[in-house]
Structure 1
Amino acid sequence: MNDIEQVGTFKLGDRQIKRMGYGAMQLAGPGVFGPPKDKESAIALLRAAVEYGVDHIDTSDFYGPHITNRIIREALHPYPKELTLVTKIGARRNEKGDWIPAFSKAELTQAVHDNLINLGLEQIEVVNLRAMFSVHGPAEGSISESFSVLAELQQEGLIRHLGVSNVTEKQIEEARAIAPIVCVQNHYNLAHRHDDALIEQLAQDGIAYVPFFPLGALHRCSLQFCNKRQKRYRHRRCRLLLPGCYSDPQTSC
């Protein structure tokens, strides 16, 4: 963390953001559900991250739900002017903590307002629409109607910039036909490079590519085995910038 100034920056919308940020998903309780065991430690962690130079926090109001954003607000509000908060919508949690698609106009509108209230903001810098046709990876399906809702909320002044997450190239083009996007959040790392060509294209268009699992992390319930050594790998919570990409400390959702 002491060397964060050396990681360089990348353009996200109209802001220059450091290439290493903080993903707030694990501030909630086990399974990203319910309160953390030690709220004061969570608050201290957020304050330390900003003190060390982190200027981008990725979050969502379905983390907890609501809990992570409320912790961020308690820890950091009023926010430093250089801090960028990015959230995502498109899912909700049921009473068991399952991830449920939430793509209706009413659900998306409520999600934006929940983020604003719980973060203590009048406008969110970036809202990403998380495609939920598959929880664990991009899957085809139209996002046109849902993304149009975000574009309307942007026109109302509730959102500054729009992005998409867990999406295919077709869905990216579908979104861009409705409104400009500033970032794409997808699963990417050295072993999972399906988006190599997409990254280059987005860079040419000035759109940030935000990889989650950039160190080869897996879904929290998954295991992967090396063919040569049969070595077990579990997901990792730390994040590292991949050259040419804007790295966001995002996890599975």
Structure 2
Amino acid sequence: MPVADSGTIDLGGRPVHRLGYGAMRLTGPGIWGPPRDHDEAIRVLRRSVELGVTFIDTADSYGPYVAEDLIRAALHDGTGYGDVVIATKGGLTRTGPDVWPPLGRKEYLRQCILMSMRRLGVDQIDLWQLHRIDARTPRDEQFAEIKSFLDEGLARQIGLSEVDVEDVQAAQAAGIPVASVQNRYNLGDRRAEKLLDFCTEQGIAFIPWAPVDAGSLAQPGGPLDKVAANHPGATTGQLALAWLLRRSPVIVPIPGTSSVAHLEENLGAADITLTDEEFQALSDAV
């Protein structure tokens, strides 16, 4: 299971393998409460690292707090996480299952990062990401507070989630060297194409969420199914991930799961090489 074959990307002087793991699905239904199987959640996290994953993405709102607690229980060695970069996010509140109201007041954002540090057991967050820009709070006020996290050493790197090119440029103008963006992007949903091209030009890591959700393209007889015929044993999900890895050198897919078997299946995408013709056929499919 050569996860290293997915390539590497530099995040603040720390190289990580480009095929990572997203911890959202470790929680209960509605991303609310503890997992159905706590021991399996721990096994998933440990197995991901055994297979070469060096980038794990989470958020304080997953559970809430549950995913961060699980990561610490599974992977913290008493001093930290070794070569594994743990990225987390803040800026959303949770008022129930599947409910995610943004809150961008500076006091709340500071609470988010400080509590994530405490739960993860670290003195500095490797990559802290603003989960959403809160429309009720001036964007520049949110960016000013986030920049202070860098200035004070609370975060090594800063990222943004669900933004556009202008948002990233505004953050850069505010003095934030944006290290990553995290937007929905996959083979079937490419609304963030312009942002991805901007990130590729700038060398900013692009972390697509819902990376294997290819929609109708994954249906029997569809484009992914046709390409799968050339790769015995490969799943359409693996091929969707392989397409993302080929699409841009800054893409860092983070497929999530609560099952070790599904984890191993997803990470097998690193061993798939699409031909030029296959890549182009999938690129033209949407």
1:212 Cα offset (Å): 1.4
1:250 Cα offset (Å): 5.9
Unaligned residue ranges in structure 1 (runs of 5+): 134-138, 218-223
8 Å CA contact 2:133–2:139 kept in 1: the answer is no
* 2:155 counterpart of 1:155: no
Query: Structure 1 residues 121 and 29 mapped into 2: Cα distance closer, same or farther (>3 Å)?
Result: same
Query: Structure 1 residues 95 and 187 mapped into 2: Cα distance closer, same or farther (>3 Å)?
Result: closer
1:195 Cα offset (Å): 2.8
8 Å CA contact 1:131–1:143 kept in 2: the answer is no
Query: Structure 1 residues 237 and 148 mapped into 2: Cα distance closer, same or farther (>3 Å)?
Result: farther
Return the match for 1:164 from 160, 163, 169: 160
Alignment of 1:57-76 (within 5 A): 57-76=56-75
8 Å CA contact 2:20–2:255 kept in 1: the answer is no
* 2:54 counterpart of 1:46: no
8 Å CA contact 2:92–2:101 kept in 1: the answer is yes
* Structure 1 SS opposite 2:101: strand
CA distance in 2, matches of 1:95, 1:197: 33
* Structure 1 SS opposite 2:212: coil
Return the match for 2:254 from 242, 249, 253: 249
**What residue is the counterpart of 2:23 in the other structure?**
24
**What residue is the counterpart of 1:83 in the other structure?**
84
CA distance in 1, matches of 2:3, 2:129: 25
**What residue is the counterpart of 1:136 in the other structure?**
none
8 Å CA contact 1:58–1:250 kept in 2: the answer is no
1:111 Cα offset (Å): 0.5
CA distance in 2, matches of 1:172, 1:121: 27
**What residue is the counterpart of 1:240 in the other structure?**
241
CA distance in 2, matches of 1:22, 1:96: 22
**What residue is the counterpart of 1:210 in the other structure?**
207
CA distance in 2, matches of 1:43, 1:170: 39
* Structure 2 SS opposite 1:71: helix
**What residue is the counterpart of 1:198 in the other structure?**
195
Alignment of 1:103-122 (within 5 A): 103-122=104-123
8 Å CA contact 2:20–2:55 kept in 1: the answer is yes
TM-score, normalization by structure 1: 0.83
CA distance in 2, matches of 1:173, 1:19: 24
* Structure 2 SS opposite 1:57: strand
1:193 Cα offset (Å): 1.9
Unaligned residue ranges in structure 2 (runs of 5+): 223-235, 257-286
* Structure 2 SS opposite 1:11: strand
Cα deviation code 1:172-203 (max 9, x no counterpart): 11111111111111111222223333323322
Alignment of 1:214-233 (within 5 A): 214-216=211-213
8 Å CA contact 1:142–1:171 kept in 2: the answer is no
> What is the identity percentage for the equivalent residue pairs of Structure 1 and Structure 2?
35
1:25 Cα offset (Å): 0.4
Cα deviation code 1:153-189 (max 9, x no counterpart): 2211111111111001111111111111111111112
* More helix, by proportion: 2
Query: Structure 1 residues 180 and 132 mapped into 2: Cα distance closer, same or farther (>3 Å)?
Result: closer
Query: Structure 1 residues 176 and 132 mapped into 2: Cα distance closer, same or farther (>3 Å)?
Result: closer
Query: Structure 1 residues 250 and 114 mapped into 2: Cα distance closer, same or farther (>3 Å)?
Result: farther
* 2:180 counterpart of 1:183: yes
* Structure 2 SS opposite 1:86: strand
* More strand, by proportion: 1
- Report how many residues are paired: 233
Q: Which has the higher contact order (CA 8 A, sep 6+)?
A: 2
* Structure 2 SS opposite 1:187: coil
Amino acid at match of 2:251: Y
> Aligned-pair RMSD on alpha carbons?
2.6
**What residue is the counterpart of 1:220 in the other structure?**
none
CA distance in 2, matches of 1:146, 1:132: 8
Deviates more, 1:196-205 or 1:56-65: 196-205
8 Å CA contact 1:92–1:99 kept in 2: the answer is yes
Amino acid at match of 2:22: G
